Structure 1
Amino acid sequence: MIRQISPSAIYMGLLAAFVGYSASFAIVLAGLTAMGATEAQAATGLFFATMGMGVCSIWLPAVTRIPAAVAWSTPGAAFLAATAVLPGGFAEAAGAMICCAVLIILTGLVPSLGRVVAAIPKPIANALLAGVLFKLCLAPALALGAIPLLVLPVMVAWLGGLIWNRLAAMPLAVLAFAVVLVLGVDMSGGDSVAYAAWLPDFAPVLPVFTLQSFVSIALPLYLVTMAGQNIPGFAVLELNGYAVERRPLIRNTGVVSLVIAAFGSVPVNMSAITAAMMAGEDAGRDPADRYWAAITSGVAYVLLAFAAAVVATVAGLAPVELITAVAGLALIPAFVASTSGAFAEPAQLEAPALTFLIAASGMELFGVSGAFWGVLVGSVVWFCKGATR
């Protein structure tokens, strides 16, 4: 078994972990902070999210012998970042994330629930994802107007990486972000960074469960996790010739999501972008051996988890606009893809348009977020219009 490890698999696994973490850690922090998490709670959530995807990325590929890489729910974190704080604060958000994890487990156990999710028209699901991402994708432009000297170097680095290699865009943006912090931001609180490196301050949260948080947060979080991550992740593996048993993988990621949600962490799910890196020829000539790339990425994630306190502390020293700008840049490719998918059927444009606009508006009705109403209204219009044709 060990003899199957190749240098290319190790390289692609390490590269995938670096790209995956650097491209989206700011989104996770922004989502947790927007839900009312303190710096210590955000660091705790980031730690367990990173540890969760690391453990899954070691466990699932080792069992299935396919590069079944796992990531945290980036669109889910973006949804949290664009949603108003619940009345119960972060405790209520943690309860919603636990409920979301239970829904993921049930999807892996109950085939009919999976069929219900699959019955949502793909353009509606894509429009929901685009609406969720829209507000955060505006952040780079808004930050450029507010703090141009800090944001412009990050955007230039991102653009340079995009032109050179799409996968290099966010790592270069993060490196530019680090340089900007050192040169342009008051780091007088930097002594806490060294302390955090050696003694992470874990801050568990006692979850609160309400019907409002279930409908406003748990259901949309579940839908964007399934539509934005799990389904594309399975598609990547299948396109690369791997036979995938979806329900066990969904069930297992749901169990891990449930464990880490108790610590205020976003769910984990199948990876799409980094899975594409590890399922292709760059990860080894023999497709049967490429699962080692996913295992390598898992080991790297476990190690990166112990940097959570440092990352959260450094992010806390930066202007909020700068952090959200970095998060927004990371989401632009996903926004473009989901928008294109939302309006892919010329005969059905109104329904996804309504879903997108309602989800992006940030409105609330009866205490329920626009993400839920967007899916509901869009689905009704879709099926009513389809019935009249």
Structure 2
Amino acid sequence: MSTTPATAEKFDAVDVIRTKRDKQRLEGGQIDWVVDAYTRGVVAEEQMAALAMAILLNGMDRGEISRWTSAMIASGERLDFSGLDRPTADKHSTGGVGDKITLPLAPLVAAFGVAVPQLSGRGLGHTGGTLDKLESIPGWRVALSNDEMMAQLGSVGAVICQAGSGLAPADRKLYALRDVTGTVEAIPLIASSIMSKKIAEGTGALVLDVKVGSGAFMKSADDARELARTMVDLGTDAGVRTVALLTDMSTPLGLTAGNALEVRESVEVLAGGGPSDVVDLTVALAVEMLAGAGRPQAEDDVRAALGDGRAMDVWKAMIRAQGGDPDAPLPSARESEIVTAPSDGVLTHVDALAVGVAAWRLGAGRARKEDTVQAGAGVELHAKPGDVVVAGQPLATLHTDTPERFERAAAALDGAFRVSDVSLVTERTSVVLDRVA
């Protein structure tokens, strides 16, 4: 015996699934309904899984992706920074190994009078999380209310904290489903996931750092460019000034992968030092963010703010505002082990994915979102591609509190360092590969 539901639904989930299964275009009303109904629990997990797979296989056009993103935004709240006395700009990275760029970037941009509301996440798998890194600073607090965030943006100009549960709740639910149904790679769903949260954050300008290479989610330049183009179009459609940089993630960024290790390196950058690739990418992204916010600056002026203390002053104020002590010693791991060069020659390749997996196995990352991380664990590199090395020279130091992790971490690095004859050396390339606007 059938029962009549209390509220009649506008559409039927199976009809929506069939539409995309049969390579047809989803109408706006269908998209609005299915995202809302899934968030409410009316559309079952297995039904959304089927729809996600149909989207993966058959794609979506620009109009469909834009409407899907709008429906995800509409599932929750939107932040409003119009009350601030300065423009806003934000950055999103698709994730990589040693990608600590948010840490020096937010205070650098804020030093030029642009507010940076950076809502960040935690690490999962081989890519590190910004919040995990900052939590290695004694006392630093990850959770802020909207009022606290607004007050800090007004006084300091920069905030890095976790997103509240009210931003795009549909995305949080769909993200977990994609992870277990083999649909993570669907570019329409990746783009709408990222952009629904970033647009809901309410920033006026957005710069996307789309990583390409072994340590990135997107392994090929063509796939990365398609994702970048899709996200830039979504931002533009939503009235957010959006630009994307394609950046190299075939080798780790900087010389560290791990939480406290990366904070230490970020502070070196803010003090006018640090690895050149980290500095170059931080400056390139800052230039784009400032231009998007209507406060354009010459690259030399932006670079100078890292050396003259302006960015460091904002960093310290930002950390203190969230309860942290920017001058406190950072945690260090209890145990370490050295990986050495196998032969004389030139280091021509350091595989980013291998280094990321090694750092994860040492305790810097998590396999499940419930796992804890070790603040001091990770990989410290002593050479970059292009450096001359001799047999037995330290190439990396592995750090962990649990020495039984060394064996599996070292196994991840087997073949990660490629040493070649000097005649085979090629020049180091720029970390920025392309720009999509």
Q: TM-score, normalised by structure 1?
A: 0.27
In terms of fraction of residues, the more strand-rich structure is 2
Higher relative contact order (CA 8 A, sep 6+): 1
Q: TM-score, normalised by structure 2?
A: 0.25
Q: Greater CA radius of gyration, 1 or 2?
A: 2
